[in-house]
Chains A and B, each alone.
Chain A
Amino acid sequence: NAGVTQTPKFRILKIGQSMTLQCTQDMNHNYMYWYRQDPGMGLKLIYYSVGAGITDKGEVPNGYNVSRSTTEDFPLRLELAAPSQTSVYFCASSYEAQAYEQYFGPGTRLTVT
């Protein structure tokens, strides 16, 4: 198993541009999450999904959108990028029926200038 994979690893965006951060897991996990991590801070939940077709807002959803058309994929869309969205983004997944452990991807470092 590859676990949770994220692409790209790094990206620089200009203010106002849009992009999609990709996240895929091959563990057949039903729950998936997107977090952002700012320097010296813990992880903040952006959006999460409890299964295909079901998504919900986390703590900091403004400026982002998600979709979950399959169990494996959970892309995060940034529309009209702003400097405040400069951060490291982590995707995670878990199989809630058996355990609460969340498995994290390697992260995407995004800079908006």
Chain B
Amino acid sequence: GENVEQHPSTLSVQEGDSAVIKCTYSDSASNYFPWYKQELGKGPQLIIDIRSNVGEKKDQRIAVTLNKTAKHFSLHITETQPEDSAVYFCAARVDYKLSFGAGTTVTVRA
């Protein structure tokens, strides 16, 4: 099955700096790559996604890049704010099913 690896597991950044989280996947049939944000005690919420026919997507301070050849994709958060502190998960989709990375705990220091 699909195997998704996510790095780093924890990330501490100064408010206003950028944060980058990287994921790799194993199954070349994966065609959809969402990123989820999970706040304490809540379910994951989609923040951005990208399909396999697109190399980059941006939504305000958040951007995602995809390199299909290398089988990796990344999340970029610019101008980080305290409310960006959360756990972020990447995922890859094959045959209706999502496989998730282990998560990155992001802490934004004021």
The 9 closest A-B pairs by CB, nearest first: A42-B100, A104-B43, A43-B100, A42-B102, A100-B32, A104-B44, A101-B46, A106-B43, A42-B101
**How far is B98's CA from A103's CA once the two chains are assembled, in angstroms?**
12
Chain A nearest CB from B68 CB (Å) reads: 17
**How far is B101's CA from A101's CA once the two chains are assembled, in angstroms?**
17
- Given contacts A40-B102, A42-B6, A42-B103, are A100 and B43 in contact (CB under 8 A)? no
Chain B residues whose C-beta falls within 8 Å of the C-beta of A106 in the assembled complex = 41-43
* B97 contacts A42, C-beta separation under 8 Å: no
| Closest B residue, CB atoms, query A41 | B102
Q: Mark B68-110, 1 if CB is under 8 A from A, else 0.
A: 0000000000000000000001010100111111110000000
List residues of B whose CB falls within 8 A of some A CB. 1, 4, 6, 9, 32, 34, 36, 41-46, 49, 89, 91, 93, 96-103
* A50 contacts B103, C-beta separation under 8 Å: no
* B44 contacts A43, C-beta separation under 8 Å: yes
* A102 contacts B98, C-beta separation under 8 Å: yes
- Given contacts A31-B96, A48-B96, are A90 and B44 in contact (CB under 8 A)? yes
List residues of A whose CB falls within 8 A of some B CB. 4, 31, 33, 40-45, 48, 50, 58-59, 90, 92, 96, 100-107
Chain A residues whose C-beta falls within 8 Å of the C-beta of B1 in the assembled complex = 59
Chain A residues whose C-beta falls within 8 Å of the C-beta of B91 in the assembled complex = 42
**How far is B41's CA from A9's CA once the two chains are assembled, in angstroms?**
10
* A102 contacts B103, C-beta separation under 8 Å: no
Chain A residues whose C-beta falls within 8 Å of the C-beta of B9 in the assembled complex = 40
Chain A nearest CB from B31 CB (Å) reads: 9
Chain A residues whose C-beta falls within 8 Å of the C-beta of B49 in the assembled complex = 100-101
- Given contacts A40-B103, A100-B32, A101-B49, are A45 and B97 in contact (CB under 8 A)? yes
Chain A residues whose C-beta falls within 8 Å of the C-beta of B6 in the assembled complex = 42
Chain B residues whose C-beta falls within 8 Å of the C-beta of A90 in the assembled complex = 43-44
**How far is B100's CA from A83's CA once the two chains are assembled, in angstroms?**
23
Chain B residues whose C-beta falls within 8 Å of the C-beta of A103 in the assembled complex = 46
